[in-house]
Structure 1
Amino acid sequence: MAKQISDLKLGILGGGQLGRMLIQEAINYNLTTLVLDPDTDAPCKHLANYFECGSITDFDTVYNFGKKADIITIEIEKVNIEALEQLEKEGKQVFPQSRVIRLIQDKGVQKQFFKENNIPTAPFQLVNTREEMRHSRFAFPYILKQRRDGYDGKGVMKINHAADIEQAFDAPCLIEEMIDFEKEIAVIVARNANGDMKTFPMVEMEFNAEANLVEFLISPSTYPEALQNKAEVIAKNIASSLNITGLLAVEMFVTRNGELLVNELAPRPHNSGHQTIEGNYVSQFDQHLRAIFNLPLGDTRSISNAVMINLLGEKNHNGVAKYQGLEKTMAIDGVYIHLYGKKYTKPFRKMGHVTVVDQNRESAVQKANYIKNTLKVIS
């Protein structure tokens, strides 16, 4: 008889907030969870059945940790791929597959994958040094991205003119044409080993210009149904082309003339899906578990309008986190607070998120704006 989900051990590489919310869902299935993270105070530490403090980029550490689990997944892409490949060779199940993580770790390889598979994306050029940037075929301004290790707005620069190149990353990078986009949107798609796929409704994102982080996320989108369907088809086509098992978040731009361009991929639960915990029939975390354990995928429909606000550390605050305005926020109907268990705050650090659900979209947005100005993470 095949093992049930509750008989299996799930290993998670990374013990941050995504792992924490995944474990909160895994508890409902009596899953045994094992977590590896370099931070002794990682948010997952007290929720996992087994927690190990160690490097997720070290071969031996990841390999030895992975041998303890039946299925291994990630909450961050910056992991040791060679160890995961070896574990796969020895029969361990790794989802998303190590080949998918390898592709997505390198934004240059990711963009080449888009080009080879006719996935719409911004024109780009790969460069290795500042000197190569000086001879770029792109007109100023353009966007410069480090090919590796960029996340949450880090590793991205706008190059306005030639003088900016002197302060640019002197490393393998990706140059992208500056896109005059109207909105950044995202679609999360889940795919299990049977090849079954389901997409969550398209969401719209509003960014904090200073931190280059998502500040608001609004679900579902109010764009025309035809555009939303097109975005979902693109996400499914990418998941099929990758033959991925698990979740895939697909971030896209809606251009001024109504075209869709794929920006980046994340092969895991993602910031653009946090609102699904209260706003959809199935959450992204439940869906990820269903996908990697090859179970029936859940109902992704929206229950209500939902607005997610990222709770970021305030500027000029470093130290033990304090939450100002928490009671005022909790007094609002339809508000759900998620704190990530991080002891220390620093400017723009993700400390939690708040989701507002309301049958009236305008009311949900108004409440979110009030919370943005009321709930602060200080030291």
Structure 2
Amino acid sequence: MSAAFYQNFKLGVLGGGQLGRMLIQSAIDFNLDVWILDPDENAPCKNIATQFIQGSLTDFDTVYAFGKKCDLITIEIENVNTAALKKLKEEGIEVYPEPQIIELIQDKREQKTFYKNHQIPTADFVLTENREDVRKYITMLPAVHKLGKEGYDGRGVQKITTSQELEKAFDAPGLLEKLIDFEKELAVIVARNAAGEMSTFPVVELVFHPEHNLVEYLFAPARISEQMARDADSLAKKVIEKLGMTGLLAVEMFLTKDGNLLVNEIAPRTHNSGHHSIEANITSQFEQHLRAILNMPLGSTATKIPAAMVNLLGEDGYTGLAKLEGLEDVLAIEGAKVHLYGKKLTKPFRKMGHITIVDQDLNRLKEKVQQAKQTLKIKA
């Protein structure tokens, strides 16, 4: 396939957000033409894609017509029309990750059932059909109720701790999952190419926003024992192997208080938990995704330097044209690199960019994270 890179090879990406934007930045090194489909006329990829097409990601005809123009299709968001992708694959166009895997991951109910069927450790759960159904499982509280479909970036997840909070349950098909008393939240990004070669990035430690269920910042590598890191690595490989998936898979896990690992959720694409790899690892997650879907040898994921990643979220109470406060001060922090996503409009907790900070000293790294968090604000 390598010869095709120089002869009009078209990589089609469903979704034109920040993940697509960073994928394009990496694809330039491979001389790849990247075609983007996204419903937002002002999507972050608009001005840097080889071709940008505005259109629905969930409409069969739109996705099919877009895919017919490409040599290979990948995604940067799961909410896409998988029927169209299946037809494209039947007609000889490569699609990675495979359409049936995207379809499975689109539904958290199917995802959790997959773990259970393949002996992948996960939190205890029951499938629920509606709000009334949730009431039958009061003995499972405290728990988390999740929408089966269309939950994203913290939406579609509701914590229910007491019987009085059962009204918060979604009145739609979902799953009720036992609330885990965890020590840390971890993530492993694993890649697998079509030849079956696998490679993982070092485990990262996630810190979530207390209210909005979004990653606020992370540390890489995670502050865990070598044995726990090996166990997390093996678990991520088991998940992608059982799926039989080609591409990049982010595997989010709980490390419980009694030292067990439980898979929480997976994402079949580049992921927020791997952004630091651009600066901190020999190969970035974006390059690794390209290597995997193009069936190239996977790159080294060795850590060059410890890192932290801070998400830049729109400030609460501000909606409108984005204005940055404190950019110069953050750029003055040694080891800080700011990535802005090209989003003109801000709204509360919208992902507007991220900061990666590198430092050999963990204590200095923690201090710089707090400094960056308090300094750079995105308002309107």
TM-score range normalised by the length of the shorter chain: over 0.9
**Partner residue, 1:328:** 329
Asked if structure 1 preserves the Cα contact closer than 8 Å seen for 2:158 and 2:168, the reply is: no
Q: Distance in 1 between matches of 2:139 and 2:308?
A: 37
Shift of 1:2: 6.7
CA distance in 2, matches of 1:81, 1:135: 34
Aligned position for 2:312: 311
User: What's the CA shift for 1:160?
Assistant: 2.0
Tell me the SS of whatever aligns to 1:4: helix
Q: Percent identity, aligned pairs only?
A: 56
Alignment of 1:119-198 (within 5 A): 119-136=120-137, 138-198=139-199
Determine the structure 2 residue equivalent to 1:287. 288
Please give the alpha-carbon distance, in whole angstroms, between the structure 1 residues aligned to 2:370 and 2:363.
11
Work out whether 1:246 is the aligned partner of 2:243: no
Partner of 2:277: 276
Deviation at 1:360, TM superposition (A): 1.1
Does the aligned pair in 2 maintain the 1:138–1:177 contact within 8 Å?
A: no
The 2-side partners of 1:144 and 1:69 are apart by 39
The CA deviation at 1:333 is 1.1
CA positional deviation for 1:365: 1.4
Q: Which amino acid aligns with 2:251?
A: V
Partner SS state of residue 12, structure 2: strand
Give the distance between the partners of 1:6 and 1:236, measured in 2 at CA: 33
Show CA shifts across 1:72-123 (max 9, x none): 0000000001000000110110000001101100000000100011000000
1:76-91 map, 5 Å: 76-91=77-92
Find the counterpart in structure 2 of residue 296 from structure 1. 297
Structure 2 equivalent of residue 107 of structure 1 = 108
Q: Taking structure 1 as reference, are residues 138 and 26 closer, same or farther at Cα in structure 2, changes over 3 Å only? A: farther
Distance in 2 between residues matched to 1:82 and 1:363, nearest whole Å = 49
Corresponding residue for 1:12? 13
Question: Aligned partner of 2:58: which letter?
Answer: T
1:222 deviates by 2.0
Give the corresponding residue for 1:93: 94
* Equivalent position of 2:210 in the other structure: 209
8 Å Cα contact 2:134-2:169 kept in structure 1: no
AA aligned to 1:4 is A
TM-score by length of 2: 0.98
> Residues 6 and 32 of structure 1 are in contact (CA less than 8 Å); yes or no, is this contact kept in structure 2?
no
Deviations 1:248-269 (A, max 9, x none): 0000000001100000000000
Partners of 2:35 and 2:51 within 8 A in 1: yes
Deviations 1:194-215 (A, max 9, x none): 0000000000011111211101
**SS at 1:157 equivalent:** strand
Task: For 1:215-230, list aligned pairs within 5 A.
Answer: 215-230=216-231
RMSD: 1.0
Flag structure 1 segments of 5+ consecutive residues without an equivalent.
none
* Partner SS for 1:27: helix
How many equivalent pairs are there? 379
Q: CA deviation at 1:4?
A: 3.0
CA distance in 2, matches of 1:140, 1:119: 23
Aligned match of 2:256: 255
Give the counterpart letter for 1:148 in structure 2.
K
Is the 8 Å Cα contact of residues 336 and 357 (structure 2) preserved in structure 1?
yes
| Superposed displacement of residue 162, structure 1 | 2.4
Matches within 5 A, 1:26-41: 26-41=27-42
Is the alpha carbon distance of 1:135 and 1:52 closer, same or farther for their aligned partners in structure 2, counting shifts above 3 Å? same
Query: What amino acid sits opposite 2:332 in the alignment?
Result: A
Alpha-carbon distance, 1:137 to partner: 5.9
Letter in 2 for 1:109: E
CA distance in 2, matches of 1:17, 1:259: 33
CA distance in 2, matches of 1:231, 1:6: 38
Give the 3-state SS of the residue equivalent to 1:133 in structure 2.
Answer: helix
- Which amino acid is the alignment partner of residue 4 of structure 2? Q
Q: 1:61 to 1:138 in 2, by over 3 A?
A: farther
Q: Distance in 1 between matches of 2:2 and 2:13?
A: 22
- Cα distance in structure 2, aligned partners of 1:167 and 1:188: 32
